[in-house]
């Protein structure tokens, strides 16, 4: 079925292979390039469609978002154009991240606005809960561990999403990674005072931004902060745990807070984290994604400490119990501080004292890895088993990780120079901007790996599975791709010419290299 996008068309559905609408006579090839298929969703400002790009070989599938004003008055056209440009700018800025859909094209036709985005095949979390039932506590903890580093990245780009909800988080089918979609409500001028929005002259003030129930009060009042996305993420967690949307849960009549605790069965420490994410007052809420991660870590630490104190206080020493507990309490603050320091160390974040782990690197490489934290192979493996996936900025120089299972790990800007990952399982891993000089990835599983802007000079990639890998702007001078499988990989002819290939190398088109 081919869909006509003429808003006045009485019957927009047309048979396949039709190129002129049978009802209104409009050209069905949008912008002389796209054929629009089924509708994915509709709203007050437009609709989203699945389409194919006829200008590219194989007619790849894409998503077209049509933004059309409710009327053609000057104020509404101004609003529509602002929303359109805002989303296009944001997608263009964030699209190099593998968990954000790429912007492929955007254009305006007869006062209608169109965004063309990468199609993410998968199921959103709302459908996942409806089909499989609510998440367990472990499932929600894993969800937070995976999604919060993405929030940290988006907020570091001074972008507030403003419409976080289960329907806007897709679990990508090909690698099971979480992808955040629908940036139509973003605010990407965080430091500006929204005087125009509050004046009443801007038509944006006539519409609530975000989704009721998932959006906090300050956002509905057009004063969003980064913590607004944290609130929405907390409300999303409640949906995942309870299988109920906020509007089906209700609110506390005294405080106005979401009355969710009776609907979920989780540990006390996760309840405390969720409660802080869902605080009505911005000042009482977690202020960043990293703060939520630290909160998850510290709640678990606090519980284990409490249990340890009980075990160390036998009844026979009841006379000294009060004194002992007082001493333990006085040491608690320092223990908490130490735990936070260790947490930030494992995450590769700066602490008050940082060591220099750049021995053996050249001057330029030492500068690049300054401030990075060093992990041993044992520490890396342990933290992966505990659920950690984000190892951005970590120093992994010359580690022995042969046959390591590190699927879907994030190594953005990490130092993996001369690290041995031979035969490792690194499917879906993110190495963007990383130092991978002379890294050993021979026979490694690297399908869907992301190497954007990574330095892979003289890397050993012999016989590696690199299907669907992305080498955009990566340095591949003298990298050995002999026998590697590059089927459908994103790599240029220039990059291939700089690297080493042989007759056994399978090129992106599926054919053997000429050698």
Q: For residue 200, give Cα distances in angstroms to 77, 207, 389.
A: 16, 11, 45
What is d(CA 415, CA 434) in angstroms, rounded to the nearest whole number?
6
Helix axes 226-242, 137-156, angle to 10 degrees: 160
- Contact predicate 424/444, CB 8 Å: yes
Active-site annotation holder among 163, 175, 294, 465: 163
Q: Is the dihedral of CA 190, 197, 281, 162 positive or negative?
A: negative
C-alpha 335: how far from chain center: 32
Segment (H or E) for 48: strand 46-53
Q: Say what the alpha-carbon torsion angle 499, 505, 508, 513 is, to the nearest 10 degrees.
A: 90
Q: For residue 309, give Cα distances in angstroms to 2, 319, 323, 344.
A: 68, 16, 13, 25
Q: Tell me, yes or no, if 465 is annotated catalytic.
A: no
Nearest one of 145, 154, 143, 146 to 226, comparing CA atoms: 154
State both tokens at 136.
């367990």
State both tokens at 229.
């996305």
Q: Which residues are catalytic?
A: 163
């Amino acid at each position: 079925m081919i869909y006509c996008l003429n808003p006045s068309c009485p019957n927009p559905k047309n048979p396949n292979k039709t190129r002129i609408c049978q009802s209104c006579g409009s050209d069905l090839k949008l912008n002389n390039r796209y054929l629009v298929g089924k509708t994915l969703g509709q709203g007050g400002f437009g609709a989203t469609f699945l389409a194919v790009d006829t200008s590219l070989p194989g007619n790849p599938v894409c998503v077209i978002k049509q933004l059309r004003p409710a009327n053609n008055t000057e104020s509404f056209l101004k609003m529509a154009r602002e929303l359109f440009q805002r989303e296009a700018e944001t997608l263009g800025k964030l699209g190099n991240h593998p968990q954000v859909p790429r912007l492929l094209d955007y254009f305006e036709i007869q006062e209608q606005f169109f965004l063309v985005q990468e199609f993410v095949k998968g199921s959103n979390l709302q459908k996942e809960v409806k089909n499989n039932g609510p998440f367990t506590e472990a499932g929600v903890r894993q969800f937070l561990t995976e999604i919060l580093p993405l929030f940290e990245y988006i907020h570091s780009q001074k972008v507030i999403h403003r419409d976080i909800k289960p329907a806007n988080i897709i679990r990508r089918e090909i690698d099971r990674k979480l992808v955040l979609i629908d940036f139509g409500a973003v605010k990407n001028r965080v430091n500006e005072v929204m005087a125009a929005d509050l004046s009443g002259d801007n038509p944006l003030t006539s519409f609530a931004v975000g989704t009721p129930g998932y959006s906090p009060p300050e956002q509905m009042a057009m004063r969003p902060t980064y913590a607004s996305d944290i609130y929405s993420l907390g409300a999303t967690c409640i949906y995942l745990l309870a299988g109920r949307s906020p509007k089906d849960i209700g609110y506390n009549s005294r405080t106005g807070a979401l009355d969710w605790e009776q609907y979920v069965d989780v540990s006390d420490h996760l309840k405390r984290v969720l409660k802080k994410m869902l605080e009505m007052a911005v000042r009482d809420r977690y202020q960043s994604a990293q703060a939520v991660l630290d909160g998850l870590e510290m709640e678990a630490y606090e519980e284990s400490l409490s249990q340890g104190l009980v075990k160390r206080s036998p009844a026979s020493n009841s006379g000294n119990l009060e004194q002992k507990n007082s001493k333990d309490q006085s040491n608690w603050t320092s223990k908490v501080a130490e735990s936070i320091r260790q947490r930030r160390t494992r995450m590769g974040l700066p602490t008050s004292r940082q060591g220099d782990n750049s021995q053996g690197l050249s001057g330029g490489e030492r500068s690049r890895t300054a401030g990075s934290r060093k992990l041993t192979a044992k520490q890396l493996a342990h933290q992966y088993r505990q659920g950690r996936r984000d190892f951005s900025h970590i120093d992994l120089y010359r580690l022995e990780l042969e046959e390591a299972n590190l699927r879907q790990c994030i190594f953005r800007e990490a130092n993996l120079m001369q690290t041995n990952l031979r035969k490792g399982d690194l499917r879906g891993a993110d190495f963007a901007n990383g130092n991978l000089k002379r890294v050993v990835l021979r026979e490694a599983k690297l399908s869907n790996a992301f190497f954007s802007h990574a330095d892979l000079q003289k890397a050993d990639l012999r016989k590696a599975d690199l299907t669907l890998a992305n080498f955009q702007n990566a340095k591949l001078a003298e990298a050995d791709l002999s026998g590697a499988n590059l089927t459908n990989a994103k790599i240029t002819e220039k990059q291939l010419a700089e690297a080493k290939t042989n007759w056994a190398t399978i090129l992106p088109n599926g054919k053997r290299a000429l050698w």
